[in-house]
Structure 1
């Protein structure tokens, strides 16, 4: 018989088989080698009888079950990688606004906290006056108020910078994780060409 005739014959015998031609031909060749009829003399034409080797259907069903199990596992992994990618994308969307907020706080802190504090204390019942006096400015650099405000400023800005650095490292790790979650991992053909 030709390969196509062999495949059709085996598929007719068991319709539950996957239509994987190479696997069927290999199984048939192996069985034929094991159960090849001995050559007989004479010209008698024997009628074709479908005789299957003992245990062949058990082996074929077992292989089919193994393929089914592998396909279920592959689909589970694909679903896991899809879910993982969605979580990475949603997490990335929360990191961008967080970085913007930290930068805004770093800029707003000296303008809204440190700058107003350097006017303190103001004498009661007196309006503040804005003047430009170089001696007063230089003297303020060596005052206790300037030292304490500088410590306060650098401490808070350092905390903001630390969080900004952590956010940048998190964004790099996220980018690396998204690159590792490649399209191949979410394609059934990556796991087996027969799926």
Structure 2
């Protein structure tokens, strides 16, 4: 099983690759869209500002490359943190004249600040929070008990237009979507690579499950 970690110049990807390598997966950084043809699973990380990440993807042609790999070739994709938010249609973060707030649109929906989602807690939300998978979560949360803690660092929240695409929530001043799925496209707002055994199990589930 070859897992490609999209390297588009955003963030430190080393911890993610180390976590996958510890589980004996063939994890490699993918530095150009054409190389997506050589992997079986794709992970899209992301940290920082949504508009900056979206612009970096478009600049190097990752948006089209990912659409071909996922929509045409059916390769499973996991977005992590801002990588999950990039699955959305659009975001309110970075919405100015110089930067486009449009995402990949794999899961229609919008990304908004914690305040806009009804949370009065401190932003960013940093630390461990319990996660409640929905009954429809399926194999991505297999072997992970309800209420398991995962590690978060975020100020924005992705809310899909279709509520059935939300497969897990947490509470941080308000109930917030923190994991999404549409077909073979998944996203987690938390960092599985920083979430101890539960995070490792989720990554293994993504890598080993024969997704329909």
TM-score for the superposition, normalised by structure 1: 0.20
Structure whose residues are more often helix by fraction: 1
Structure whose residues are more often strand by fraction: 2
Report which of the two structures shows the higher radius of gyration computed on alpha carbons: 1
